[in-house]
Structures are given as structure tokens and as C-alpha cells.
Amino acid sequence: MVSILAHAQNLVYTLLSLMPSVYQRENLEAMLGLFLQAQGYPLPEHSKSKSPSALSRFLNVYDWSTKGVIQTTRNRMIKEILSERPKGRKPFLQVIIDLTTLEKAGKFKGLENLMCVYNGKRGLHLVVMYLVVGRWRVPWSFRIWKGKGTLSPAQLGLKLVKSLPRKLTQHFKVMVLVDTAFGSVEFLHGVRKLKYHVIAGIARKRKLNDGRCVARLHKRGQQLRLVGLKFPVSVSWYYFKRDDGKYEKRFLVSTKALKASTISWWGKRRWQIEGWFKTAKHRFGLHRFGQGTLLGVYRWLILSLISYVLAHWAYLSIANKDLPDWGEAARIAFETIFPQLLLCYFLLDLERIRPIALSHGIDIQISRCKI
């Protein structure tokens, strides 16, 4: 298990080597260190090692390869996932697609074409592809929904599915899990054309070829044809407990012939991404960006996601319970990968409290040890 943390450390070293100067490497360390505080507020003004203006220029102005950082991180993730692929039958790769809103108020001049309202929420709307295989949880890619008159979330989701790397798809059976916003005819046809299977939520008013709506069905597991689809699907449902304690009937279709209980089981797996959205926002500050340029926001999102991946690997290295403590996992990642930054923070705090210590008759002296 320890090797996972070593691989995470090697990934960060490789990312640092992509920076064009020592100054940029220090900025990258500072930003990742902020995200790995896992308090949900990784703002540049909270950095102890770099000024807010330096980190702002790092995100918005300086010329370093964002694409290179993404590709390097993905290659490492693929390598780690494949290294633990069990022998025998191909395991499932769960591909979960969903939309989340990074709510924002105020004006963002550089993002005017991207800020819009969806379901009553104003902000940046991300269609995210989240991969689950074995114990791995990987936010893989995202697209920004630009509002009415542009590609729909379902169309963006299909683009994401098409972008899955062959290095993964040739080693796993792909199961795509989506909610009702992505269960369009175009999406289902598109994924089936790729020879993947889909479990999709559908509206209770969705029509069948015989004129009935799915809410009128009484037997789960039937193979039926939805209006517009060129192939039959299996229909099932389950009862979802809402925040008010009441249960709501949720309908599902599967492009693969499965038992009703199996379809419902897969359908519930889609909710894994909802938990990840909360973690990404409230622990790793995904929605806390304040940059006014598209490049700055894009880099913020990428570094936030990479920080989550590092914390996830730290969790895997010490996993001893079902639900991770993300604060603990991020702390382990930070202390293992950035020991020098940790020491810098410690010395700065020590210098800050030195006057208080002196006022109580305590003189703190620091000397370098000979090794």
C-alpha cells in the first residue's frame, strides 16, 4: 500500500518538472499545498509561502503547459489502475456522467459567455465524467455547458464518453451510469454505437411505443421500446428517500438485458458522483475560484481535481474504513509529498508567535543539525 503514496509523490515531482522555472515550481507547490489543506477555502490570500499576486499570475498569466499537466496526471492514473486489474474476466469500469453547478454571484468579465442559469442556479455548469473501478475513484474529464442554444448536457456527456482512452476501455467492460438529464435518444444511441452499456434514469412520463408512459408499468424487468429508440431496453425502478423523508419512485432503463434487481443496483451506483461533488467543493474548493480569465479558472479546476486525486491515493494507502476522512487523507498527502513546504509553514508560524513566547519568558531558538 505504501507504494501508492510513493507513486503520488513521483507524479508531483513529474508535474513540478514540467514548470519552466524554479519560480513556477514554487507556485505550483504553493497552490497544491493550499488545496491539500482540505478546508474548502484554498484561496491565494491564504498562502503562507507566496503572495496572492504571484499565485494569480501563475494561474492567469504565466506560460506553462496545462495540457501537459493533465496528460501526465492521466497517464499516471491509467498506469496505477491497470497495475491492479484482476486476472480473469474483465471487470466493470463505471463511467458516471452528471452535471454540477459551481454557483457564482457578481460579474466575471472574462467568463460572460459561460456564466448562465440552470435549474435556478447561476454559475459555471460542469458536465463531469467520473470513473469508478475497484477501489479507484477518478474525476477524469469535464465540459462546460454554455447555456441554451449550445450543445446540451447530454450531448456534452456523449462527447466525454467518446473521449475515454482505449488503454482503459480495452481492459474493462464499460457501464455508463446517468440520470434523467442524459437519458436522451441521442445519448442512448451514441453510447450503444460505441458498444458500451447504459443504465439511465428516465422521467416517469417517458413514452413507450404502445402509447403508455413508464409510470403505468407494474412489472419490473420488462423489455420494452421507448419512443424514438431503435432497440429495446429493460425497465426497472427503485424508491429513493428524499431529504424530507418521503420516498420517490425513480425509473431506470438498461440497454443491456439484466434482471430488475440488477438494474436497480446499478442505477443506485450513479449516486456515488453526488458524494464526490460535495467532497470536491467543500474539501478541495472546486467552486472557490475567483479568477477573471478562462485560463485561470480552467487551471484552478484542474489543480483542485489533481489535489483530490492525491488525497484519494493517500486514503488508499491507509484505508481501514468504508468512508474516508478527507481531512486526514489530505493531511497525509501533504506531509508526504511536500515535507519542505510543511517545514516552511511551521517556521513561519514559529516566527509569528515568537513575540508571544518572549512575553512569557520563553526564548525560541532554531539551529541547523549536522547530518
The full 3-state SS of 180-198, as one line of letters, equals HHHCCHHHHHHHHHCCCEE
Who's near 52: CB < 8 A, 6+ residues apart?
43, 44, 45
DSSP H stretches of helix in 195-284:
260-269, 272-282
Q: Could you tell me if residue 78 is inside a domain?
A: no
DSSP 109: G
Instruction: Tell whether 342 and 203 lie within a shared domain.
Output: no
- What's the N-to-C CA distance of the chain in angstroms? 30
Task: Determine the 3-state secondary structure of 360 from DSSP.
Answer: coil
The residue assigned the cell 493550499 is 34
Which residue, 256, 282, 308, sits at the end of a domain? 282
Q: What is the CA radius of gyration of the chain?
A: 24
Instruction: Tell whether 103 and 180 lie within a shared domain.
Output: yes
Which residue, 282, 313, 344, sits at the end of a domain? 282
Taking only the tens of pLDDT, the chain with its 371 residues reads 447 888 899 999 999 999 999 999 999 999 999 999 998 889 999 888 899 999 999 999 999 999 999 999 999 999 999 987 877 788 999 999 999 999 988 777 778 788 888 888 999 999 999 999 988 999 999 999 998 889 999 999 999 999 999 999 999 999 999 999 999 999 999 999 999 999 999 999 999 999 999 989 989 999 999 999 999 999 999 998 888 888 889 999 999 999 999 999 999 999 999 999 999 999 999 999 987 789 999 999 999 999 999 999 999 887 666 667 899 999 999 999 998 877 777 777 777 777 887 888 887 777 666 55
Residue 302 domain boundaries: 1-69+292-371
Q: Could you tell me if residue 77 is inside a domain?
A: no
Instruction: Tell whether 115 and 241 lie within a shared domain.
Output: yes
Q: Could you tell me if residue 204 is inside a domain?
A: yes
The residue length of the chain stands at 371
Who's near 101: CB < 8 A, 6+ residues apart?
118, 119, 121, 123, 124, 125, 126
User: Which cell numbers in the block locate residue 29?
Assistant: 507547490
User: Which cell numbers in the block locate residue 103?
Assistant: 454557483
Q: Could you tell me if residue 74 is inside a domain?
A: no
d(CA 176, CA 188): 10
d(CA 327, CA 332): 9
